[in-house]
Amino acid sequence: MHLVTPDAELLVRAVRTFLNTDADPDYLTAPGTLTFVATTEDKVTGWCWGYLLPRPDGVSMLYLHNLAVVEAYRNQGIGRALTSAFMDAGRSAGATKMFLTTGAENAPARKLYDSLGGGLATQGATVNYWFLL
């Protein structure tokens, strides 16, 4: 497995693999974006992406929006390597916390996040909202 911050060509391949659409080439230069792509034998096998978010109190935090691994490559440490790289990059950029959302029934993801030291939010049950703008 090879893990990298993607160039435009690799981003195009990852977006096509996981989102089945075209990539926005401006994404790679947008402020605060973090993306890692895993490849095995030149095949895209996993990716994660999210944002470094400044806060008004001067502290930065990370938001991991998406982590995905091609089904045939799961349980080989790719998700762990991607998440760790994302966290390391955020830590190097000054972030002190990271948050993400996953489905309550997504046992494999929850096991991974628990094993990396994540903890459930302490503010009680949360509800996600989406808005079309």
Compute the mean pLDDT over every residue in the chain, rounded to the nearest whole number: 89
In tens, the pLDDT along 57-103 reads: 988 999 999 999 999 999 999 999 999 999 999 999 999 989 888 88
Structural domain spans, the chain: 2-115
Instruction: Residue 68: name the closest of 41, 42, 90, 35 by CA.
Output: 35
In the β-sheet with 95-99, what is the strand arrangement from edge to edge? 2-4, 33-40, 43-54, 60-69, 95-99
pTM of the full structure: 0.87
Query: Average pLDDT in the 10-18 region?
Result: 95
Which of 40 and 114 is assigned the larger pLDDT? 40
Who contacts 64 (Cβ-Cβ below 8 Å, separation ≥6)? Answer: 48, 50, 83, 86, 98, 99, 100
Q: How far, in Å, CA of 59 to CA of 61, rounded?
A: 7
The CATH code that applies to domain 2-115 is 3.40.630.30
- 83: nearest Cα among 56, 61, 115, 53: 115
pLDDT at 124: 63
